[in-house]
C-alpha cells in the first residue's frame, strides 16, 4: 500500500535595497580682511642747552688782555698803592709824634722803607685752574604722542553649501512561493 506523502516547498521573499548616499559639500571662503594702522602723532619740542665759557681771567693771567682792562688794572693797582702809602705815612707819622716813648722810630722806619719786598718761591700755573668760568644750562626735551587706533575692515564670505540628497530604492528581488505536492511512497 502506498501512503500519500505531502511535500511542501516554500520560497522566502527577498527584498532588494539599494542605497545611494547623499553628498554634502561645504566650503568656507576666506574673509576679506584689511587692517590699516595710521602712524602715531608724535611731537617733540626741544630747548637747546647753553654752555657759556668765560676765559677773560685766563687771558689776564697770561697777561694777554685788552687795553681797557689793562688800563683799569693799572688804575686799581695805583689806587691801592696810593691808599697803602697814605696809610703807611699816617702810621709812621703817629710813631714820630710819640717819639718820646721808648724806641727809635726813625731808624725802624728807615729799615722798613729801604727794604725790598721778598719774593715768594713756588710753582704757579698760568693760567690758574680756576680762571675759567663755565656755566651750563641744560636743555629740555618735551615729547608728546597720540596713538591712533587701527582701522579694521572685515568682509565676511557666506559658506557655500551644496547638498545632493541620497535615496533608497527598494525592489522585490524574489517573491514568496509555496508549492504543495503529494507523492505516494
Q: Is residue 3 one of the residues assigned to a domain? A: no
- Tell me, rounded to whole angstroms, the distance of Cα 142 from its chain centroid: 13
Q: Is residue 185 one of the residues assigned to a domain? A: no
Give CA–CA dist 35/38, Å, rounded.
Answer: 10
Site of grid cell 568682509: 155
Cα angle, residue 182 at apex, residues 180 and 185 outer, rounded to 5°: 145
185 residues of the chain, pLDDT tens digit each: 788 889 999 999 999 999 999 999 999 999 999 999 999 999 999 999 999 999 888 888 888 888 888 899 999 999 999 999 999 999 988 888 888 877 888 888 888 888 777 777 777 777 887 888 899 999 999 999 999 999 999 999 999 999 999 999 999 999 999 999 888 87
Q: Please, are residues 53 and 132 in contact by the beta-carbon 8 Å criterion?
A: yes
Q: Is residue 109 one of the residues assigned to a domain? A: yes
Q: Please, are residues 145 and 19 in contact by the beta-carbon 8 Å criterion?
A: no
Q: Which domain holds residue 103?
A: 9-113+131-173
Amino acid at each position: 500500500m502506498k501512503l500519500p506523502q505531502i511535500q511542501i516547498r516554500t520560497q522566502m521573499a527577498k527584498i532588494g535595497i539599494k542605497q545611494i548616499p547623499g553628498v554634502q559639500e561645504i566650503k568656507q571662503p576666506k574673509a576679506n580682511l584689511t587692517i590699516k594702522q595710521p602712524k602715531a602723532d608724535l611731537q617733540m619740542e626741544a630747548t637747546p642747552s647753553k654752555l657759556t665759557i668765560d676765559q677773560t681771567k685766563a687771558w689776564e693771567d697770561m697777561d694777554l688782555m685788552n687795553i681797557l682792562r689793562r688800563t683799569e688794572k693799572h688804575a686799581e693797582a695805583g689806587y691801592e698803592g696810593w691808599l697803602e702809602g697814605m696809610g703807611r705815612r699816617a702810621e709812621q707819622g703817629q710813631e714820630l709824634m710819640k717819639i718820646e716813648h721808648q724806641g727809635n722810630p726813625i731808624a725802624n722806619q728807615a729799615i722798613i722803607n729801604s727794604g725790598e719786598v721778598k719774593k715768594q718761591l713756588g710753582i704757579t700755573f698760568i693760567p690758574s685752574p680756576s680762571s675759567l668760568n663755565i656755566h651750563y644750562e641744560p636743555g629740555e626735551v618735551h615729547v608728546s604722542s597720540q596713538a591712533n587706533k587701527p582701522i579694521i575692515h572685515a568682509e565676511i564670505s557666506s559658506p557655500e553649501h551644496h547638498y545632493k540628497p541620497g535615496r533608497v530604492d527598494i525592489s522585490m528581488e524574489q517573491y514568496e512561493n509555496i508549492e504543495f505536492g503529494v507523492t505516494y511512497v
